[in-house]
Chains A and B, each alone.
Chain A
Amino acid sequence: MKLQETYEVFARQWRKDPLQHVGTVVAPNGDLAAAFARTIYNEEAWVEMQVAARKNFIPAIEIREEGK
């Protein structure tokens, strides 16, 4: 059984910017995922950072060829 889950990490450096994917963490719960994200992805002074469990992502468009 897998006790750990994968979380995607999003952040932005300026208020004018959109949130951007900056990486991934694996953690047993959301609180720890947020803590790991703050310490691992500390390369900028972010104004916002969010984590979301990968399993909650619903592909509205599956990855496809560009320009189609």
Chain B
Amino acid sequence: MATLSDEALKQKIEKGHLIETTEEMTEGYKKALIQILLVQADTELMSAPSYYMAARSAPSMNTRLSAYAVIQDELGHAHITYQLLEDLGMDKEYLIYGRKPHEFKNPYGFDQPLETWVELVVANAYFDRAGITLLGDPFENTSYGPWKRSLVKIDKEELFHLRHGEVWMKRLCEAGGQAKEEIQRAADWMFPMGVEWFGMPDHLKRHTAQLEYKLKGKTNDELRQIWLSAVVPLSESCGIHVPAHFDEAQQEYVLDYEFPVDYDPSQKRWKFDSPVSWDQVFERWKKRGPYNEIYVKSIQKHYKDFMAMLNGGN
């Protein structure tokens, strides 16, 4: 471990120093780094079964191939990020195959069933935009060198997922009728899910270890604004209504509902007239969404049998 104190490390990082090895880290730095990487790795991994569920209803060979290409990318990103964790002393096999479903750190959005190909399109437009926003920040600002470099490929490929979502969203909305109605129905539950993705507002939580160690450079609200400034104009240009708008006086995007609100996962419906506290949101996240177990099991179920077979039935 580092001989530097936490304060000295933070000062060094502030001057633009990149951390390369565990020897240079303090305990605090390493702990915060593992925490943020685990969220990324688990999010990339759990997007795969969720996108796969939707991809099975892709309407043509081309759309199916595009969807599977996205899934392959996501598994690659998960692999790269778990590898970073392994280099920090974690056990990749355990992280993927040994943990219980509720121990995965992916956002609540990837605990939800994606039931149609149209939902995949909107997920690519909204959720992958959240991914690019959240990973574009460390790509630009992080103090951990190996993570920064790993994001070159990831950033490039997430952009492809995003284009896939945006192009199809526009095309389906131009078609009008049932196609546009389905996009609107998906946006109705997925847009507020994206808003919540960025977590607690800054006035409730400003200073975090992740910011102090410059693992990331932007606050939750700053990132949420970046996401809104892409997703709201996209939706409006498609004629899709989302409960947010640009406020000229404040010069920023504001929500048209009290945030956060209650969510009924069985109906995929936000209860906009039932504002809740953040403690209640954390409780809902902790309880996990309806597909958390199903998705985790789909990844883990064949592993033990396969390893036994590979090792001669032992």
Contact = CB atoms under 8 A, between A and B. Distances in A.
A22 B157 CA distance: 14
B80 A26 contact: no
Contacts of A25: 79, 83
Among the interface residues B17, B72, B79, B156, which one has the most CB atoms of the partner chain A within 10 A?
B79
Contact of B86 (A21, A23, A26): A26
B207 to A, nearest CB: 28
Interface residues of A, number: 14
Interface string B138-158: 000000000001101100110
A10 interface: no
A60 interface: no
Nearest to B150: A23
A23 B147 CA distance: 10
B153 A23 contact: yes
A47 interface: no
A63 interface: yes
Nearest to B82: A26
B76 interface: yes
Question: Chain B contact residues (Cβ within 8 angstroms of A): what range?
Answer: 10 to 19
20 contacts: A6-B83, A6-B86, A21-B149, A22-B153, A23-B83, A23-B150, A23-B153, A24-B80, A24-B83, A25-B79, A26-B92, A39-B72, A39-B76, A40-B79, A40-B80, A41-B153, A43-B153, A43-B156, A43-B157, A63-B21
B264 interface: no
B80 A23 contact: yes
Interface in A9-35: 21-26
B252 interface: no
Contacts of A22: 152-153
A55 B153 CA distance: 24
A56 B71 CA distance: 33
Contacts of B87: 24
Contacts of A40: 76, 79-80
Contacts of A24: 80, 83, 87
Contacts of B7: none
A66 B17 CA distance: 9
Given A23-B83, A25-B83, A63-B21, 15 more contacts: A22-B152, A23-B80, A23-B150, A24-B80, A24-B83, A24-B87, A26-B83, A26-B86, A26-B92, A40-B76, A40-B79, A41-B153, A43-B153, A43-B156, A66-B17
A20 B92 CA distance: 25
Among the interface residues A21, A39, A42, A66, which one has the most CB atoms of the partner chain B within 10 A?
A42
Q: Nearest 5 pairs between A and B by C-beta? A: A40-B76, A43-B153, A63-B20, A24-B83, A43-B156
A61 to B, nearest CB: 13
A21 B87 CA distance: 16
Nearest to B19: A63
Interface string B276-287: 000000000000
B264 to A, nearest CB: 39
Interface in B15-72: 17, 20-21, 72
A19 B150 CA distance: 16
Interface in B86-140: 86-87, 92
Contacts of B153: 22-23, 41, 43
Nearest to B16: A66
Contacts of B76: 39-42
Nearest to A21: B149
A13 to B, nearest CB: 12
Nearest to B18: A66
